[in-house]
Amino acid sequence: MKNVLVFIVLSVLSGAAMAQYNPYVYHQGLNQQNVIIGTVVADRSVTGQGGSTLGRVFGGVAGAAAGNRVGHGFGRQVSTLAGALIGGLVGGDVQQHLTAQQAENITVQLQDGRYIAVVEASYIPPGTKVQVVYQNNGKVRVFPL
């Protein structure tokens, strides 16, 4: 049981430590990206969703450890399982609340008249000319001109 828990914790931690793509840093081998010019027509604040994987794992481990201290025999096994489930749920909710981020829902009118909405980290005031970048991975970014 301990080996399985150690494996799970190490797997989650190694996945969380992987480098994130930064669009402001040059990377060799990037492919062409499509760009459309537009104007911001609205910007409103939203709350971005936080992660919950690590919180679930650590909460589950802590809950299992706490549940293992209750009862004897089969009752101890049941309380360990219940503690792991409840701890995982609570730990995931706590991490999601702690890692939620403020973001901006930006509505852009493109040159061809269409409207799109994109969630970005930074505020771009209405009336600002922007370039809408369609990346090869399916993501869309908005940058002021």
- Report the range of poorest mean pLDDT among 19-23, 32-36, 60-64, 69-73: 19-23
Residues 63 and 89 occupy one common structural domain? yes
CA distance 106 to 131: 12
CATH number of the domain encompassing residue 141: 2.40.50.100
Residues 3 and 74 occupy one common structural domain? yes
Residue 17 confidence (pLDDT): 47
Residues 131 and 80 occupy one common structural domain? no
DSSP character string of 17-49:
TSPPP-TTS--TTPPP-EEEEEEEEEEEEEEEP
Q: pLDDT tens for residues 6-59?
A: 456 555 555 544 455 555 555 555 567 788 899 999 888 777 666 667 778 878
Residues 117 and 132 occupy one common structural domain? yes
Question: How many domains would you assign to the chain?
Answer: 2
Residue 5 confidence (pLDDT): 53
Residue 39 confidence (pLDDT): 94
Please report the beta strands in the chain, taking only residues with DSSP state E, as ranges in sequence order.
34-48, 101-110, 115-120, 129-134, 140-144
Residues 129 and 66 occupy one common structural domain? no
Residues 92 and 57 occupy one common structural domain? yes
Q: pLDDT tens for residues 46-55?
A: 776 666 677 7
Residues 139 and 107 occupy one common structural domain? yes
Residues 67 and 94 occupy one common structural domain? yes
CA distance 117 to 64: 43
Owning domain of residue 127: 31-49+101-145
Tell me which of 56 and 100 has the higher pLDDT. 56
Residue 2: CB partners within 8 Å, gap ≥ 6? Answer: none
Residues 55 and 70 occupy one common structural domain? yes
Tell me which of 8 and 63 has the higher pLDDT. 63
Query: Looking at 61, 77, 99, which one is the last position of a domain?
Result: 99
CA distance 143 to 77: 55
- For residue 144, list its beta bridge partners: 130
